[in-house]
Amino acid sequence: MEKKKTTFYITEELRDLMYFLMEKEDLPKINFFRRAINMFLEGTQKIDSRILITKRSDPAYIKRDICEPFYLDLKQYHEIEQVAKEQNCKMAQVVFQALVDYCSTLAMNYDEIVVLEKE
């Protein structure tokens, strides 16, 4: 299966939650991303309006400043590209939503309270 190396920007909080869940689920990053994207593509493909905000001066803008590299299957890459085109947004916004949705779903399986504090 051919893969495409790519990078997307996410929030620090999402990255921390992802790595916590990857450890808990014993999933390598590539599988975590693949499952997140598959779940999104098989679901409603709805992107939250806050994620669609691109104007950085907007108070509701979500600052995504952590670069996360990973490999995407070419099929997933093209499917994400199509969703972005249909929803008039960027692929990065689609991937961010997929990761948020997947992390939210997995996090419900844990009774532990995760507190992420900025230093």
Bridge partners, 22 (sequence order): none
93: CB partners within 8 A, 6+ apart: 47, 51, 52, 84
Condensed to tens digits (0 to 9), the pLDDT of residues 65-88 reads 999 998 888 999 999 999 999 999
DSSP string, 64-79: --EEEEEEEEHHHHHH
Condensed to tens digits (0 to 9), the pLDDT of residues 32-69 reads 999 999 999 999 999 999 999 999 999 999 999 999 99
**Predicted model pTM:** 0.89
Residue type, 73: D
What SS3 class is residue 8? strand
